[in-house]
Amino acid sequence: MREINLIVIHCSATREDRCLTEHDLEECHRRRGFEGAGYHFYIRKDGKIITTRPVERAGAHAKGFNAHSIGICYEGGLDCNGRPKDTRTEWQKHLMRVLVEVHRVSRSFNVFHHRLHRLSQIYLFLNLC
């Protein structure tokens, strides 16, 4: 098993009035030259969690950090006009907390936004989700 010390949170940059299925996500990443979706988990608006890449396999979601991280992407992230907005549903927030807790390996485990601005230590992050 590879050493994991970081979880990187992403949004799919999908407008809140539109859907992006896991198949759409996979196709988008393949068109960009990746071997499938670069994230390990994709959380749909309805709360469905899709494993898009085995955790044992390095991701393709945060250049320079993939070897030791897990990528979690949630469907959404833009308002109806295409501007950034926290569009996470309660299901998405809850499941993000669950995934982070399941994959946490230590109390000093880090969680970052996809642009790699530190969100917080894991226990503070859990309260923000």
> What's residue 5's pLDDT?
83
Task: Say how far apart CA 59 and CA 96 lie, in whole Å.
Answer: 17
Please compute the mean of the pLDDT values over residues 79-108 and round it to a whole number. Answer: 82
Determine contact, residues 9/72, Cβ cutoff 8 Å. Answer: yes
- 27-83: per-residue pLDDT in tens? 999 999 999 999 999 999 999 999 999 999 999 998 888 998 899 999 999 999 999
Contact 62, 98 (CB under 8 A): no
Strand (E) or helix (H) holding 75: none
Q: Round to whole Å and give the CA distance between 19 and 16.
A: 8
Stretch 78-98: mean pLDDT, rounded?
89
Q: pLDDT tens digit string along 16-38?
A: 999 999 999 999 999 999 999 99
